[in-house]
């Protein structure tokens, strides 16, 4: 009985996530109005939506890159990607998974702090709603991003759609006046770019020290 109830709960939960992802991608304007008034918590956004969807890139990377051997260069149609063993790929995928959730929280916090400058509300839950649900395309596209060349194009399209979703959501979710939505969207993009550059430089340094500065780890790159 307990197992049956648990199974039904998770089935309903997964259907809820799928429906929300479908709605925010296909019918964003109406869905933002629904999201704006929904009671939730930051923890609920993470456990009930962000984390399950952020697992898609994690699993996709391990499956297609680690097991099937499709590299990032292959996805771009370039070929000759750097060989890495499954353990190294899995570790990097897990690290990227954690980093994506941390970045989401940081962006939500920054958006909340900047929002009053554009006459929007300074509500941490509303800001996290905006950034969490707007990130949907970047997670979902991982289902097909492994397809050579086409996957790369769709990934770029997903990023553009994330920006569009933020643009659509700023007014209903944070109450930003419509005439200031475009400016706030640009600011969010610039903040994100700077944040990614900072994080990327830190990660690059860590990865270099792990794989090239440590002879014990060097073999992971070639599967030795």
pTM of the model: 0.81
3-class SS of residue 213: coil
**SS3 state of residue 168:** helix
- The token pair at 213 is 């500065």
Higher pLDDT, 90 or 164: 164
Cα separations in angstroms, 75 against 149, 151, 153, 155, 191: 5, 6, 9, 10, 28
In this prediction, residues 110-132 reach a mean pLDDT of 98
Looking at residue 212, what is its pLDDT? 60
Neighbours of 63 (CB within 10 A): 13
DSSP class of residue 82 equals P
Higher-scoring residue by pLDDT: 8, 15? 15
Tens-place pLDDT, residues 21-76: 999 999 999 999 999 999 999 999 999 999 999 999 989 888 876 566 555 544 44
Residues in the chain: 224
* Spatial contact of 148 and 74, defined as CB atoms under 8 Å apart: yes
CA 134, CA 147: separation in Å to the nearest integer?
A: 23
Structure tokens that stand for 209 in this block = 């020290």
């Amino acid at each position: 009985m307990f197992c049956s109830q648990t199974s039904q709960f998770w089935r309903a939960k997964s259907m809820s996530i799928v429906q929300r992802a479908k709605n925010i991608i296909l019918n964003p304007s109406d869905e933002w109005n629904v999201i704006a008034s929904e009671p939730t918590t930051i923890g609920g956004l993470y456990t009930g939506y962000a984390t399950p969807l952020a697992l898609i890139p994690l699993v996709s990377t391990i499956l297609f890159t680690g097991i099937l051997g499709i590299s990032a260069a292959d996805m771009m149609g370039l070929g000759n990607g750097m060989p890495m063993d499954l353990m190294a790929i899995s570790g990097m995928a897990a690290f990227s998974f954690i980093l994506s959730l941390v970045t989401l929280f940081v962006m939500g916090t920054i958006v909340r702090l900047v929002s009053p400058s554009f006459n929007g509300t300074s509500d941490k839950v509303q800001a996290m709603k905006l950034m969490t649900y707007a990130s949907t395309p970047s997670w979902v596209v991982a289902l097909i991003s492994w397809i050579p060349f086409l996957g790369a194009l769709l990934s770029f399209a997903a990023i553009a759609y994330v920006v569009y979703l933020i643009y659509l959501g700023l007014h209903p979710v944070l109450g930003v006046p419509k005439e200031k939505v475009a400016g706030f969207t640009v600011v969010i993009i610039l903040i994100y770019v700077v944040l990614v550059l900072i994080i990327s430089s830190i990660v690059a340094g860590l990865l270099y020290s792990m794989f090239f500065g440590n002879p014990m780890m060097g073999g992971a790159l070639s599967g030795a």
